[in-house]
């Protein structure tokens, strides 16, 4: 069986959480149908990361030296018809058959932009009331088609995200071609890491330059710039997001970036240093507890973060 979905997961300073993501991903998606790529930013806990990588030898690890160049080079080599992005603090606790997802794309055609694994009807009460959700019968199952252009909440009007939505690779490739500058001067002289860009950064904010030319400098800019483009140009992409049941939640207990506020974490009880030590001791995320008591939100707080001791 050929690979159907490529998965690119981003990680920094969270080996225990990355292990939980990968373990849960392989539990609910068939390994023979997916290829996982880990874009890893080396900073802290290199030994713990190497331990994690050894636990999942089929994953291909790319050590980040320049986010934009490394990511775009990786993406340009993707050959599968579908792509799913991931963040290391997301955990899956349920699954949807890939055949159902594929048939949904086939039936809805260009109207469908993505199939969400983090939305479900319970989160879309306002959208049902507004008439922007309709049920579709796919292979004898009910799938819900949401018009994200009329979304009533922050989640339902957010068409592009890096946590748990499957897209056609060709659609994402077309999106990137719109967002990333094709200006030959910018690409020749001001690409991230270039001498001119480094010189510019000595006097002015380099991030402003990257934003001007659409050069992503971390996963947050990749998501926010692309999502904003889709929102501002809805006619260029399908107006629908499909969903069936919520399959994963981002458990936000620590912060590894400074560009996005983590509204769930107001304490330092679960620092990356403490969790790395737990990982060395054999503690892992308790995925069974999530499966037994499924979260109902796209994001969860520390109350959902439970560990269990694994045999070493």
Domains within the chain, CATH numbers bracketed = 1-95+248-312 (3.90.550)
pLDDT at 1 over 70: no
Q: What are phi and psi of 165, to 5 degrees?
A: -130, 130
Please give the Cα distance from 217 to 71 (Å, whole number). Answer: 10
Question: Measuring CA to CA, which residue among 217, 112, 119, 210 is closest to residue 170?
Answer: 112
Per-residue pLDDT tens digits for 90-102: 999 999 999 999 9
- Contact between 44 and 13 under an 8 Å Cβ cutoff? The reply is yes
Mean pLDDT over residues 217-236, rounded? 96
pTM over 0.85: yes
Question: Measuring CA to CA, which residue among 218, 229, 126, 128 is closest to residue 177?
Answer: 229
- Contact between 43 and 13 under an 8 Å Cβ cutoff? The reply is yes
pLDDT at 312: 61
pLDDT at 259 over 50: no
Let me know the angle formed at the C-alpha of 87 by 70 and 101, rounded to the nearest 5 degrees.
100
Q: Which of the four pLDDT bands, split at 50, 70 and 90, describes residue 198?
A: confident
Tokens of 223: 């998501």
Mean pLDDT over residues 211-217, rounded? 86
Per-residue pLDDT tens digits for 124-157: 999 999 999 999 999 999 999 999 999 999 999 9
Residue with tokens 């579908």: 82
pLDDT at 248 over 80: yes
Share of the chain above pLDDT 90, in %: 80
pLDDT at 266 over 70: no
Please give the Cα distance from 312 to 309 (Å, whole number). Answer: 9
Partners of 308 in the β-ladder: 284
More confident residue, 266 or 93: 93
Kindly give the residue spans of alpha helices, DSSP state H, lying in the chain. Answer: 15-28, 46-55, 67-76, 98-108, 125-129, 169-179, 184-189, 195-203, 206-213, 219-232, 272-280, 287-292
Partners of 8 in the β-ladder: 37, 85
More confident residue, 118 or 182: 118
Window from 23-27, 82-86, 136-140, 306-310 with minimum mean pLDDT: 306-310
Q: Which of the four pLDDT bands, split at 50, 70 and 90, describes residue 203?
A: confident
């Amino acid at each position: 069986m050929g690979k159907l979905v490529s998965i690119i997961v981003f990680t920094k300073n969270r080996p225990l959480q990355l292990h939980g993501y990968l373990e849960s991903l392989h539990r609910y998606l068939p390994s023979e149908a997916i290829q996982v790529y880990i874009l890893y930013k080396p900073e802290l806990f290199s030994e713990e990361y190497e331990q994690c990588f050894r636990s999942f030898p089929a994953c291909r690890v790319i050590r980040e030296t320049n986010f934009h160049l490394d990511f775009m080079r990786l993406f340009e080599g993707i050959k599968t018809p579908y792509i799913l992005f991931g963040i290391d603090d997301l955990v899956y606790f349920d699954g949807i058959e890939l055949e159902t997802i594929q048939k949904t794309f086939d039936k809805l055609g260009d109207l469908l932009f993505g199939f969400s694994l983090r939305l479900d009807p319970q989160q879309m009460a306002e959208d049902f009331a507004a008439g922007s959700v309709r049920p579709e019968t796919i292979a004898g199952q009910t799938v819900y088609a949401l018009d994200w252009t009329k979304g009533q909440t922050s989640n339902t009007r957010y068409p592009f995200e890096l946590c748990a939505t499957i897209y056609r690779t060709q659609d994402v490739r077309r999106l990137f071609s719109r967002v990333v500058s094709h200006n030959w001067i910018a690409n020749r002289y001001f690409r991230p890491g270039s001498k001119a860009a480094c010189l510019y950064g000595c006097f002015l904010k380099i991030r402003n330059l990257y934003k001007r030319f659409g050069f992503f400098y971390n996963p947050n800019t990749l998501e926010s710039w692309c999502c904003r483009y889709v929102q501002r140009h809805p006619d260029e992409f399908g107006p629908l997001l499909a969903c069936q049941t919520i399959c994963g939640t981002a458990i936000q207990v620590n912060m590894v970036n400074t560009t996005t506020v983590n509204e769930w974490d107001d304490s330092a009880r679960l620092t990356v240093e403490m969790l790395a030590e737990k990982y060395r001791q054999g503690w892992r995320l308790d995925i069974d507890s999530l499966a037994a008591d499924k979260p109902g939100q796209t994001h969860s707080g520390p109350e959902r973060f439970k560990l269990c001791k694994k045999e070493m």
